[in-house]
Structure 1
């Protein structure tokens, strides 16, 4: 317990404020402008950017209007994603080749984006950068690895994702318009994109963002430069609701955990919101059946300590849920 709390306090001192830096900014006006321009054409990008930003005073409001418009008007194109994924596999041994291909592919992708308002992650990142630059903001495309349930990443995997870094008030911030825009729902074995804006990927703290994003160029971690790709792969799997709720497991920081049956599993969770103990649930699956339980929950400084005692040895997929929404997954091996 003392060790977990020490890790938690160390983590606390390393946190970046990120979206919290702008708590005094009301995004209502920026959001209203973006919503009123729903369906606007991309064929005159300077005009669209001007219409989104001209009446806003601060750079962060201008970027917010651009970001929200892109996330709510552009559809994630599964066919484009598959084409990109297959090409990335062919050149996965060379990051230089990948970056060169990505640069040459972008203009072709952008033409389809303008005409159909459909794209994959590269298109989202390219559009965010283009519009932000038109608004006088410094914005970059970040290429790297996105860790999701079906990504099956390993040390030899090809880069599979792109997102953005934006400079505001002389400080760099991270965001992912692709994952903010929505998700794919499987309908009769056919992936169908469902729009659902996720605010949690807008100006996300680097300490959380790196839990499921790892850049080719490590400077875009914007946090611990000693954080390795192997560390990234070993992290527990985090889902979009963790970012949407602003609620994250801090420890253990490894997905695969081994413990003795006599020892309780302990987890420390940090949240940007005040939570009620009963909101937490664990669901564990031993390969045969699933069981939902309410863990012991103790309120600690700036967080919550969750505890569960496994009754039987075995290997369990343990899911942390908040109000039945999945936040993270661990794999627990319980021995005698």
Structure 2
């Protein structure tokens, strides 16, 4: 029994170590993308493809590059002056809101023959205080990985909105892998797509359930983790 336990611990340790090495290798590759390889979306797509050994690594690289290089346009968000959220403008300006992040992620995926959808719906993000939202307010992605759809929220993965001492909003980069290939059971705590089929749940929930006290308590518990 001891021998089996020791073998399991050793395997687990090696597995975690390998994951960490892959993470840092991909992060460094994304960080070191030369200017000559990032003049347009097509060149960037080719550069990212050269750094990936698997389809999963390629999706991770797309996520990391966008998180590290695209800022959230907090001024446009605060003043409700959001205009062009196309992938091209997001890429050239190096800033946008959630729709721009999602459109850019999708565009790079399509360049690399990866199936990807932009999903719109309700997000319990910055400053959410438990209210029942009447209108959709967020966009994210679903990407097909080995015949299985998984979720990406590159906007929330890039950082967050905060208030300074004067109450003015600012964006702070804080790379997070929490929204990288997230599973439907956790993702639904903060994201409700307009189309129920994009919940990717065996038993989709209603809007009323999404905004219920029970779901809010579950969301708050997850945030603590």
TM-score bucket (shorter structure): 0.7 to 0.9
Q: Name the one with the larger strand percent.
A: 1
Indicate the structure (1 or 2) with the bigger Cα radius of gyration: 1
Give the CA deviation at 1:38: 7.2
Q: Which has the higher contact order (CA 8 A, sep 6+)?
A: 2
**2:61 aligned with 1:65, yes or no?**
yes
Aligned to 1:231: 209
> For 1:48-197, what aligned pairs fall within 5 Å after superposition?
48-82=44-78, 106-107=85-86, 110-148=87-125, 150-151=127-128, 157-187=134-164, 188-197=166-175
Instruction: Give the CA deviation at 1:155.
Output: 5.0
Contiguous gaps of at least 5 residues in structure 1: 1-21, 88-103, 243-247, 249-325, 329-336
Which ranges of structure 2 fall in alignment gaps of 5 or more residues?
A: 1-14
TM-score of the two chains, using structure 2 as the length reference: 0.79
For the aligned residue pairs, the C-alpha RMSD in angstroms reads 2.8
Aligned to 1:255: none
Whichever structure has more helix as a proportion of its residues is: 2
SS at match of 1:157: coil
Deviations 1:163-184 (A, max 9, x none): 0000011110001011110011
Q: Distance in 1 between matches of 2:89 and 2:84?
A: 11
**Deviation of residue 133 (structure 1)?**
1.0
Query: Residues 39 and 73 of structure 1 are in contact (CA less than 8 Å); yes or no, is this contact kept in structure 2?
Result: no
Give the length in aligned residue pairs. Answer: 204
8 A contact 1:180–1:197 mirrored in 2: yes
**1:200 aligned counterpart, secondary structure:** coil
Q: Is the contact between residue 38 and residue 69 of structure 1 (CA under 8 Å) also seen in structure 2?
A: no
TM-score by length of 1: 0.55
Post-superposition CA distance 1:87-124 (Å, at most 9, x none): 8xxxxxxxxxxxxxxxx9543xx454233211000001
